[in-house]
Amino acid sequence: MPHPFPGMQRTILVVDDERPIVTLLSEYLASKGFRVLTARDGQAGLETARSAGPDLIILDVMLPRLSGYTVARALKGDPATAAIPIIIFSTRSSAADQAAFKAAGAEVHVLKPFDPEHLLGKILELLPA
């Protein structure tokens, strides 16, 4: 697949506490031409998002220190980070979970385990060319 954004490299922040998932996502997204930043807990994810200003965030819900819900609400409540699209990345999929993801400010939910091409499709939908 050609680079989805010729001439510019987009940055994605992956916030997840599961090392194999972080490694898999980082390698996959880098192979598609993205610059990938990672954080292993909610507090680090929030700090990285604020300091680095990524183009998109892939955010787990169940995280040490701060939950993904708390991180998403904090980012969406801050004018400096409110426009960054958030993909919630979780095994949770009930109607109540879906409502909670939306209420926290996530644009999209992708289920774990994930299909890489489905995830890439969602990323490309959220990032304007």
- Domain annotation covers residue 30: yes
Residue at 20 is within a domain = yes
Q: How confident is the model at residue 94 (pLDDT cuts 50, 70, 90)?
A: confident
128 part of a folded domain: no
Q: Is residue 102, in this structure, part of any structural domain at all?
A: yes
The answer, yes or no, to whether residue 5 has pLDDT greater than 60, is: no
DSSP sequence for 12-78: EEEE-S-HHHHHHHHHHHHHTT-EEEEESSHHHHHHHHHHH--SEEEEESS-SSS-HHHHHHHHHTS
Question: Minimal CA–CA distance to 82: which of 104, 58, 59, 111?
Answer: 104
Give me the pLDDT at residue 30, please: 96
In a domain, 1, yes or no: no
Residue 2 counted as domain residue: no
Query: Model's pTM, two decimal places?
Result: 0.91
CB 61 within 8 A of CB 92: yes
Residue 99, SS3?
helix
Overall domain count for the chain: 1
Domain around 57: 11-123
Q: What is the pLDDT of residues 33-92, one digit of tens each?
A: 999 999 999 999 999 999 999 999 999 999 999 999 999 999 999 999 999 999 999 888
Note whether 69 and 104 are within 8 A (CB).
yes
CA angle 87, 98, 53 (to 5 degrees): 20
